[in-house]
Amino acid sequence: MYVVQIASEVAPVAKIGGLADVMMGLSRELKWKGIRVDTVIPKYDCLDTHGLSLECVQKGIRSFFDGEWHDHSLWRGRWSDASSGDLELTFLESHNPKRFFDRGCIYGCHDDIDRFLSFSRAVLQWLMGQETAPDVIHIHDWETAAIAFLIRAEPFRTYFEKTRTVLTIHNIAYQGRCQTMDLDRVGVSGSWYDSPKRLQDDFGSDLNLLKGGIVFSDYVTTVSPTYATEVLTPEGGKGLHLTLNQYSDKFCGILNGIDYSYWNPEIDSHIPFRYSERSKAQSPEDKLLVSEKAKNKETLRKALGLKADSTKPLVVSISRLVQQKGVELIRYAILNAHKKGMQYIVLGTAPDPAIQWEFVTLAHTYAHDPHVRILLQQEESTAHRLYAASDIFLMPSLFEPCGLTQLIALKYGSIPIVRSTGGLCDTVFDVDYSKKPFAETNGFVFNNPDVVGLDSALDRALAFWRQDGEAWQSLMLQAMQYDFSWNTPANHYLNIYQKILSRNSYRYETDSTTEYSERATQ
Ligand code: ADP
């Protein structure tokens, strides 16, 4: 089977959030299972090239955009890391004079719709020049959702006749709303798609690329079973619940995994002291787990100028600082860290200038505080060191499709405190209130996204940490022993690929009745 994964991010070379981790982890797991996989993203000028070797393997790939044909080049990359192995990647470089991917960023440009529509079409142009068409094209989020319908239009339709598409929705809040003329630019007839049964937004007059992905893909997944039920409701669907309900027979939730050859304290080259849950059995004095984790904490405290205070647990949040992640509750935890007797470090970036300003102010206020640090940066290595050093991981999300940070925290023995929403419900089981026996619990959960809710879980966790060191160590081990690897989710995806390959393509319509731009189908 030949599968092509296409998205806007892949870890660790082009990463903003969890989508990047999924692209890396799922691609590698499928490869390990013997599948031929190409993992394709745009060739950004801001790629993190550390550990990446790149080679241009093809030039002169022509793709249509806004009335012109533009050249693209194909680059193959190999990212290598001594501990976690190799990752093979494909980058498509655009030579459009608008320099779509030479902006020093992945998202946030005024013409993001143009950037990712042109990329979507160009990837198909490249694939169409290959000897064999992919069996499955797996697209992710609105940025590449257009591939689901472009592939059924000219000039691609015949070549990709047997190819099936899967769309994974990582966060339904981002949908790619656009106008008919945006589709015209990519060589299809925008007005044909402007229909409620195609791309027209269910509650507005715009077109909606994510809706197009849902309507035209052969299968649609989202990233956890609980989120899959939430997005079918008016509150959770963010305007797409009607469409998702209409297509519920080709929709399901598959819990994300994490790549344990990358996120693993036993082999992690970013952390000063390695440790593992298996060490308890190997060393009766539990040296590797407890003492090595403690050394990571002390090293980090020193590096950040925090006080070495053994009476205070180290609480950490690593997050995009956006409303979804409960920024008000993160702010509350910062302001109350002293009162609660904890140390608190926040690592995050805020795309919204108002939130950025608020956190810059907080970062200044706490710049020399002995117990609080706010790091406003995107820094992969720092993230690894924070997971390894922390006792508790705070994640007060208002909604959370899956959440990878709590899965990573579990693996590093950092006990998550989360709100019960989306994938957090499927992965964190409360010490006191889940129906599971203590030996199967792994964290603390609260229901209401307000300070009373947060206090209820945070105070319980802090009291547990202070009162019972032995039981806390057991909890750490339980957390680390949970298996959230990609093995099971990759099998689910393989089942879906096989299922859609064995049946006719979904009952999509094609716009054969419309006039394509002649020039776009040369
Ligand atoms: P989302 O995709 O909604 O941002 P996830 O929990 O699914 O959230 O994934 C977040 C990923 O991004 C994790 O790998 C996390 O470690 C990483 N991350 C988030 N913020 C930062 C940051 N400021 N620096 C480094 N890594 C970060």
Contact indicator for 241, 233 with CB cutoff of 8 Å: yes
Q: How many residues belong to the chain?
A: 522
| Pocket-testing residue among 320, 345, 347, ligand 1, by greatest number of atoms within 8 A of Cβ | 320
Give the CATH number of the domain where residue 67 resides: 3.40.50.2000
CA nearest neighbour of 114 among 146, 91, 157: 146
pLDDT for position 515: 44
The residue whose C-alpha atom lies closest to atom 24 belonging to ligand 1 is: 378
pLDDT for position 509: 61
What global pTM score does this model have? 0.94
**Which residues are CB-contacts of 110 (< 8 A; sequence separation ≥ 6)?**
none
**Which residues are CB-contacts of 49 (< 8 A; sequence separation ≥ 6)?**
13
> Is 402 found in the same domain as 320?
yes
pLDDT for position 468: 85
Place of tokens 């935890």: 333
> Is 111 found in the same domain as 244?
yes
pLDDT for position 502: 94
pLDDT for position 513: 44
Measured in whole angstroms, the distance separating CA 154 from the mean position of its chain's CA atoms is 32
Which atom of ligand 1 lies nearest, measured to the CA of 402?
Answer: 7
Q: Number of structural domains, the chain?
A: 2
Measured in whole angstroms, the distance separating CA 386 from the mean position of its chain's CA atoms is 19
Q: Are strands 251-253 and 415-419 parallel, antiparallel or unpaired?
A: unpaired
> Is 468 found in the same domain as 325?
yes
Instruction: Assess if residue 332 is contained within a domain.
Output: yes
Instruction: Assess if residue 274 is contained within a domain.
Output: no
> Is 284 found in the same domain as 254?
no
CA nearest neighbour of 31 among 494, 411, 499, 502: 494
Q: Coil, strand or helix: which one is 394?
A: strand
Instruction: Give the pocket of ligand 1 (CB within 6 Å).
Output: 17-19, 21, 318-320, 347-349, 378-380, 383, 402-405, 408
The residue whose C-alpha atom lies closest to atom 7 belonging to ligand 1 is: 18
Q: How far is the CA of 185 from the centre of ligand 1 (A)?
A: 33
Question: Token pair for residue 240?
Answer: 């797409």
* Residue 94 backbone class (left: φ over 0; alpha: ψ -120 to 50; beta: rest): beta
> Is 167 found in the same domain as 55?
yes
Instruction: Assess if residue 388 is contained within a domain.
Output: yes
Q: How far is the CA of 16 from the centre of ligand 1 (A)?
A: 7
> Is 326 found in the same domain as 196?
no
Instruction: Assess if residue 358 is contained within a domain.
Output: yes
pLDDT for position 508: 60
Task: Give the separation between CA 55 and CA 57, rounded to whole angstroms.
Answer: 6
> Is 504 found in the same domain as 395?
no
> Is 299 found in the same domain as 366?
yes
DSSP string, 211-251: HHHHHHSSEEEES-HHHHHHTTSTTTSTT-HHHHHHTGGGE
Question: Token pair for residue 494?
Answer: 């393989």
Low-confidence ranges of the chain (pLDDT < 50): 286, 513-516
Which range of residues forms the domain containing residue 469?
Answer: 279-481
pLDDT for position 291: 81
| Pocket-testing residue among 106, 222, 318, ligand 1, by greatest number of atoms within 8 A of Cβ | 318
> Is 496 found in the same domain as 475?
no
Amino acid at 164: R
Q: How far is the CA of 149 from the centre of ligand 1 (A)?
A: 30
